[in-house]
Amino acid sequence: MFALVADVERYPEFVPLCESLHVRRRVASGEGVDILVADMSVAYKVFRESFTSRVSLDRPRLAITVEYLDGPFSRLENRWTFRPVEGGGCEVEFFISYEFRSRTLGLLMGAMFDAAFRRFSDAFEARADQVYGPEGASGS
């Protein structure tokens, strides 16, 4: 699941509202941590916004953190943690908190973003089923 979430270039294929994602820069630390700077564009009907984030992919700690750099938010905090569970699966924790810079934009897009973020877990579960097979397919 870490690899699936870390594959940010594929997000436009399955993440709600994600219209495009471009990785500007990728730096490997040599200690299992990659740092990406990425531009993501989200769209819904006539609304379109882009923002830039720094993404830390920390394989040894099984954690992904997103640091907001630029765009329509005054703040955006996002993190994923993965914990292996007995039997071969993993428990995934996803946290996101954000606030739009503009009150008007927040009123226009806030409810839409809230609904999309609530669907994130469903989108990633569906993607995992597509990539790894449905739960239980391996007989476990």
What CATH number is attached to the domain comprising 10? 3.30.530.20
In a domain, 137, yes or no: no
**pLDDT averaged over 10-residue windows placed end to end, the chain, 140 residues:** 94 91 93 95 82 96 96 89 89 87 73 72 88 60
**How much is the pLDDT for 52?**
95
Identify the pLDDT of residue 125: 87
50 burial (CB, 10 Å; 0-12 / 13-18 / 19+) is middle
CB 96 within 8 A of CB 77: yes
**Confidence (pTM):** 0.83
For residue 56, being part of any structural domain is answered with yes
Distance of CA 60 to the CA centre of its chain: 19
**Is 91 part of any domain?**
yes
In contact, 4 and 127? CB cutoff 8 Å: yes
Structural domain count of the chain: 1
What are the residues facing 81 on neighbouring strands?
Answer: 63, 93
Query: Does residue 24 contact residue 4 with C-beta atoms inside 8 Å?
Result: no
CB-based contacts of 82, cutoff 8 Å, min separation 6: 1, 2, 5, 62, 63, 90, 91, 92, 93
Q: Which domain holds residue 71?
A: 2-127
Looking at residue 101, its pLDDT comes to 81
Q: Identify whether 80 is part of a domain.
A: yes
